[in-house]
Amino acid sequence: MYLLDTNIWLERLLGQAQSKVVGELLDKLPADQMLMSDFTLHSLGVILNRYHQQAIFKLLVQDVLIDGNVSLASLSAMLMSRVVDIIDKFQLDFDDAYQYVIAERENAMIVTFDKDFDAIPKGRQTPSQVLATL
């Protein structure tokens, strides 16, 4: 299972420098092996709204979560203390700690461009690294 961090989705949606490799990952990685956190979903909504891209957000939800069957994971209020523990333990921002706890709970590898995840024991993988294993 792979938890795709917010920056992975944004890279593709905004056509940034690594968009092509992210597109290849999204094409080759089976949807049942992809995981998106609710934090990512809400962040994408905020960011795409800021760019006046509400239609893209609606399309993303339909294509990825509804039709594409990518799993959407969230944390209960009971797990917020674990998020804070991870912030303290690894000096992560809240969003990164939230992703970490979901990945930990789901036994998923975090796929991200964010080097802050290099500080965690399991580390991270970039889209290129995941593609090399498929």
Over the stretch 59-79, which tens digit does the pLDDT of each residue have? 999 999 999 989 999 999 999
The whole-number pLDDT of residue 78 equals 96
The whole-number pLDDT of residue 119 equals 86
- pLDDT tens sequence across 4-50: 999 999 999 988 999 999 999 999 999 999 999 999 999 999 999 99
Q: Judge contact between 19 and 9, C-beta under 8 A.
A: no
Please name every residue paired with 72 in a beta bridge, in sequence order, or none if there are none: 36
Rg of the chain on CA atoms, in Å: 14
Angle formed by the axes of helices 94-106 and 80-90, nearest 10°: 110
Q: What number is the average pLDDT over the span 116-122? A: 89
The whole-number pLDDT of residue 121 equals 87
- pLDDT tens sequence across 76-105: 999 999 999 999 999 999 999 999 999 999
- Residues across the chain: 134
pLDDT at 122 over 90: no
Q: What is the DSSP letter of 130?
A: H
Q: Judge contact between 27 and 134, C-beta under 8 A.
A: no
End-to-end CA gap in the chain: 13
